A = this chain, B = another copy of it.
Amino acid sequence: SEEQSKLTVGVGIAIVSSFVNGSTFVLQKKGILRARGSGRTYLADCVWWCGTLAMIVGQIGNFLAYNAAPAVLVTPLGALGVLFGAVLASWLLQEHLNILGKLGCVLCCCGSVVLIIHSPKSESVASRVELEERLLDPVFLSYITLVVLLLVALIGWLSPAYGKSNIMVYVGICSLLGSFTVPSCKGLGLAAKDAFSGDFTTDNRAMYLFLCLLAVLIVCILIQFTFINKALENFSSNMFEAVYYVVFTSSVILASAILFKEWETLGLLDCLGILCGFTTVSVGVTLLRISQEAVITWTPAKTKEE
């Protein structure tokens, strides 16, 4: 069916853009390290700009994927990027991939397959009018208000004081902004269809929604972009990405669940499958990161006489 092939295309785009996104952090980090080594700013480094380009391409890919497949499926698939990022980092940054890293890669793949098997097979919001209704839903409005208050507190007060010592501040900011970017991506596709297909003068409502969502998306991406780079300057890319992945994905799934009600069409077993798949992927991402932060020493004495 058409719905089915749209989903397949969405999953395909999501996987490819995950790989592109996976290279982003590594290339930017490589650029920052190279620039630091030669005493220049990273804005003059071409590898850093490749990373930034990859980020833009990856974001466009994400945008397309979010419009073709459910958010609960596209977001966790980002783990495949972490996998690719780890492989690329072991090559470009000479970050060693040990047994834990390899197990983490296996888990990212297994968890992603389970997620794909159990994800919702069709969209719950299919038109702009439906989207407008959902955006004005009191539960969603309360959630958004809470997120905005949290963001103001984090950016205005906690970030200057604790940003450089506590990784959760930057992770929190970037993840909460995901509550806006992902629904904006999905909404933009729906609004664009109506805004550009109908009569411009009479269909003002669709155009306003389109411009409003576009503005939200641009502002959010710029803030995210700023804080990701601040985080990368202060923390290890491994540490940041692991925590970021889990918190960001949870935050996006929560926002999508409230806005698009993707869970309503799912049975109990599928919900359970998604939960297990997401947990497996999260453990995989964590392992990949632990493997790059920790040194494992075997205790050979214990294997004979414990």
Contacts and interface: CB of A to CB of B under 8 A. Distances in A.
Interface of A: 99-100, 103, 106-107, 110-111, 113-114, 117, 234-237, 239, 269, 272-273, 276-277, 279-280, 283, 286-287, 290, 293-299, 302-304, 306
Chain A interface helix/strand/loop/mixed:
helix
Contacts of A280: 107, 110-111, 114, 280
A1 B295 CA distance: 53
B103 A287 contact: yes
Contact of A294 (B110, B114, B297, B304): B297
Determine how many copies of this chain the complex contains: 2
A236 B306 contact: yes
Query: What are the 3 A-B residue pairs with the smallest beta carbon separation, nearest first?
Result: A110-B276, A295-B297, A294-B296
Given A239-B303, A293-B299, A276 B103 contact: no
A295 B306 contact: no
Given A107-B283, A283-B103, A114 B277 contact: yes
Contacts of A297: 294-297
Contacts of A106: 279, 283
A293 B303 contact: yes
A141 to B, nearest CB: 34
A279 B117 contact: no
A273 B116 CA distance: 10
A73 to B, nearest CB: 15
A230 to B, nearest CB: 14
A80 B293 CA distance: 29
Given A107-B107, A113-B272, A280-B280, A302 B306 contact: no
Contacts of A283: 103, 106-107, 110
A21 to B, nearest CB: 20
Contact of A296 (B113, B236, B296): B296
Nearest to A302: B236
A294 B303 contact: no
Contacts of A303: 235-236, 239, 293
Contact of A293 (B117, B237, B302): B302
Nearest to A270: B117
Nearest to A300: B293
B111 A273 contact: no
